[in-house]
Amino acid sequence: MSKLLKSVIDRNPGESEFHQAVEEVYETVEAVIKKNPKYQKAKLFERMTEPERLISFRVTWVDDKGEVQVNKGYRVQMNSAIGPYKGGLRFHPSVNPSILKFLAFEQIFKNALTGLPMGGGKGGSDFNPKGKSDGEVMRFCQAFMSELSKHIGHRLDVPAGDIGVGGREIGYMFGAYKKIQNEFTGVLTGKGQGWGGSLIRPEATGYGLIYFAQNMLAESNDSFKGKTCLVSGSGNVAQFAMKKLCILGAKPVTASDSSGYIYDADGISQEKLEYIMELKNEKRGRIKEYADKYSSAEYFETDKSSDHNPLWAHEADCAFPCATQNEIRSKDAENLVKGGVKLLAEGANMPTTSDAIEILLDGGVSYAPGKASNAGGVGTSGLEMVQNYSGIYWTREEVDTKLRAIMKDIHDSCLHAAKEYGMEGNYQAGANIAGFVKVADAMLAQGII
Ligand code: NDP
């Protein structure tokens, strides 16, 4: 292991997810750093791996039984070289500084790839919205924002949603911010339509993912028509990825949540998808219920002790992990190759382990890392910020056209950067290099700060 990488790991003990994300980027940008002594001299990689600011705070609220609850709250302001900090908030019991630092680090490069002026950040809480009443979620969001509001602002740091934070949570947090600061500004993205939200923002990560994959397929004059696709997750990203797949004539056959997954050999049609959306977004139910409703589907419970997830062992052409980090491990990657998958694009952040990525690449799978393929969400958040700054709304078609253009540009700049450094066709290397160079040059220009 290089001295530089070792020093980052030693400085952040026990933060395995953060180490994994840093290593993954370093392996592909090492050649760029070595070729440019100015980057080395200014210690740019070392600076990029240290958050500009890491805010940790207590969130205290009262549940429906009148009991006091205490949670941890965080915001990682990772890098502001090219714009205000930007990145989602995650509410999930697993949230800790390592996970948020990995996400904030990834976000630096992702945001740079969109071509929009956005720095990298991420935040959240170990609060679990699952099983909580609307009133409890609202009181938690208000308590969370009573502290977070001191550290964010529409020109400083603009959070959005992530796991466990959808339209409902953004609404409660926006209301709390407005009340505390006594101003109506675009301090959060993913807002509702009619109060500052952009059309297409809810769809953007899933749609953008499929637009990115469409560009990958077009490289070999291929399309989605008739392709069988494995999708994990059943939340925001998975839902709209499946919707776009259906629109483009592909057949998604799986969906999951943390309890298990369903396999529907007939395909998850748009009509069945509407059922999933209602089940997950309105009734807040479990994916198991899909198999009770549709006899064409089978349900498989998650075996947490297993080293693989059978979801990835079904035969298919394409795979889209859209749930969470490290959900595709070595054995899953082997199964994907065996099952005939030729394209894997990440909807989730870092869903594929480093060993699994190697197996996919060796197996001839065209692999797109999340920081490129799921950047449509933050790209459209950037478009929401532009609309808020200028006080206008674009139509659905206008936003969708811009989203398609952003995804095409990211796709092309990944391929271009990979080619420049002798790694033709490698989206992972291209995404890291293109994102790194943009932020590194901005940091160099701004001096030692
Ligand atoms: P949601 O909360 O809407 O959905 C998350 C989905 O993943 C749910 O089906 C959830 O199941 C499942 N899931 C969560 N944690 C686990 C786990 N530990 N094991 C198995 N399944 C799990 O989140 P999003 O769809 O917004 O986010 C999904 C992924 O996409 C995340 O990695 C996120 O960082 C990434 N992403 C999201 C963006 C966005 O705009 N929302 C933008 C870019 C990336 P359950 O209901 O059981 O928890």
Q: Is 258 in the pocket of ligand 1 (CB under 6 A)?
A: yes
Q: Is the pTM of this model over 0.85?
A: yes
Buried/exposed 311-329: b ≥16 CB within 10 Å, e otherwise: bbbbebbbbbbbbbbbbbb
Pocket probe for ligand 1: among 102, 162, 268, 406, the residue whose CB has the most ligand atoms within 8 Å is 162
Give the residue carrying structure tokens 């600076």. 47
Alpha-carbon distances, residue 268 vs 47, 96, 351 (angstroms) = 45, 34, 22
Amino acid at 427: Y
| pLDDT for the residue numbered 376 | 98
Residue owning tokens 């297409």? 200
Best residue among 106, 111, 163, 240 to mutate for probing ligand 1, ranked by most atoms within 8 Å of CB:
163
Half-sphere exposure of residue 394: CA atoms within 13 angstroms, side-chain side: 22
Residues of the chain with pLDDT under 70: none
Which entry of 101, 122, 227, 371 is annotated as an active-site residue? 122
* Alpha-carbon gap, residue 218 to 306, rounded angstroms: 36
What is the predicted pLDDT for the residue at 1?
83
Nearest to 126 by CA among 173, 75, 87, 74: 74
Average pLDDT over the chain, rounded to whole?
97
Amino acid 8: pLDDT: 95
- Which two structure tokens, joined as six digits, stand for 19? 């180490």
Longest dimension (CA), the chain: 63
346 Cβ below 6 A of ligand 1 = no
CA of 238 to the centre of ligand 1 (A): 8
What confidence score (pLDDT) does residue 371 get? 97
Are residues 376 and 407 in contact, defined by beta-carbon separation less than 8 angstroms? yes
What H or E segment, with its residue span, contains residue 3?
Answer: helix 3-11
Provide the pLDDT for residue 366.
Answer: 98
Concerning whether 122 is annotated as a catalytic residue, the answer is yes
Atom of ligand 1 nearest to the CA of 374: 43
**Separation between Cα atoms, residue 103 and residue 228, nearest integer Å:** 30
Give φ, ψ of 124 to 5 degrees: 150, -160
pLDDT at position 62? 98
Residue whose Cα lies nearest atom 17 of ligand 1: it is 258
Concatenated DSSP letters of 28-46: HHHHHHHH-HHHHHTTHHH
Specify the pairing of strand 119-125 against strand 85-91. parallel
Please, where are the H alpha helices in 126-265? 134-148, 167-181, 201-218, 236-247
Q: How far apart are the first and last CA of the chain?
A: 28
pLDDT, position 111 = 98
d(CA 111, CA 137): 29
